[in-house]
């Protein structure tokens, strides 16, 4: 059984500040990247106890070079570095037994979502697909669903765990912290979080037969609201995007892989507007 793990960092136990997950911070970041790596290791161990035989990991935070290799078993594969064409969903493919999301966080605008954002806080104010407000987890779950692969486990703050449960009720969720606004959290200790994640991963594998691929029905409409009007100025230059408002654009297609590619291109191009000319 082949399991794929997409691992983020803001949903790691104890994280409540951008500085803790900023590779430029030489004091706090090294501490919390180790906790992130240890949570991934806990998910790996639990998956194997539940029957997983091979595991691939996609490092999905920031510059995507966060995982400490010495915290991982020697027989896993790791996708690292940026810019990956499919970003947090790079490496998804048909035939996987299931997907784990670790260290995930609430979507932009969520109350009590610790460091809540959707892919890029600087560029995107809201992301909707077929009218549904989307977190990174939901967007990536639909990319897995495109290949017929279900999400089995999500770990992170309680807001994202509860949100995913509304759309994917078969997913095993492990909430490692409760948000207190945007920049504070009531968190498990790293050791307790890792134990919970290991148990959750084992349970997720046990329940894998109940899981279903998550998909959006075509025609699929991607609606983006940018943080600034100039972001929408840039995005609407791409063929297929339609300007729908001062800070909003829309892209429609029947194929979710195309939708996802358009989304990645949009937030990257829109981010160029944040550079002062």
User: Which residues are identified as catalytic?
Assistant: 117
Cα–Cα distance, 274 to 277 (Å, whole number)? 9
Provide the token pair at 184: 């504070």
**Which is it for strands 132-133 and 241-245: parallel, antiparallel or unpaired?**
unpaired
Asked if residues 188 and 177 have their Cβ atoms less than 8 Å apart, the reply is yes
- What does the angle CA 13 – CA 182 – CA 266 come to, to the nearest 5 degrees? 95
Two tokens, residue 246: 């001062």
Distance, CA of 124 to CA of 193 (rounded, Å): 30
Q: What is the DSSP string of 206-244?
A: HTGGG------PSSEEEEEEESSHHHHHHHTTSTTEEEE
Q: Which two tokens stand for residue 104?
A: 């995930």
């Amino acid at each position: 059984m082949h399991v794929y793990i997409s691992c983020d960092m803001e949903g790691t136990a104890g994280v409540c500040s951008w500085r803790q997950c900023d590779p430029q911070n030489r004091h706090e970041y090294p501490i919390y990247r180790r906790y992130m790596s240890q949570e991934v290791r806990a998910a790996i161990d639990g998956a194997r106890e539940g029957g997983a035989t091979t595991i691939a990991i996609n490092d999905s935070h920031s510059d995507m070079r966060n995982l400490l290799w010495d915290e991982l078993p020697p027989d896993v594969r790791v996708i690292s570095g940026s810019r990956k064409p499919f970003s947090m969903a790079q490496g998804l493919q048909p035939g996987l037994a299931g997907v784990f999301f670790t260290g995930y966080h609430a979507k932009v605008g969520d109350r009590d979502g610790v460091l809540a954002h959707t892919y890029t806080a600087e560029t995107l104010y809201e992301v909707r697909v077929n009218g549904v407000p989307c977190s990174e987890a939901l967007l990536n779950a639909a990319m897995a669903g495109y290949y017929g692969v279900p999400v089995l486990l999500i770990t992170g703050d309680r807001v994202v765990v509860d949100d995913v449960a509304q759309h994917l009720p078969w997913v095993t969720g492990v909430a490692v912290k409760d948000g207190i606004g945007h920049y504070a959290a009531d968190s498990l200790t790293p050791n307790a979080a890792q134990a919970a994640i290991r148990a959750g991963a084992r349970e997720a594998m046990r329940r894998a037969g109940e899981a279903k691929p998550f998909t959006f029905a075509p025609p699929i409409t991607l609606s983006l609201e940018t943080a600034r009007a100039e972001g929408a100025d840039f995005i609407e230059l791409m063929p297929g995007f339609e300007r729908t408002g001062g800070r909003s654009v829309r892209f429609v297609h029947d194929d979710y892989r195309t939708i996802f590619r358009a989304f990645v291109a949009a937030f990257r191009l829109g981010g160029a507007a944040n550079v002062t000319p």
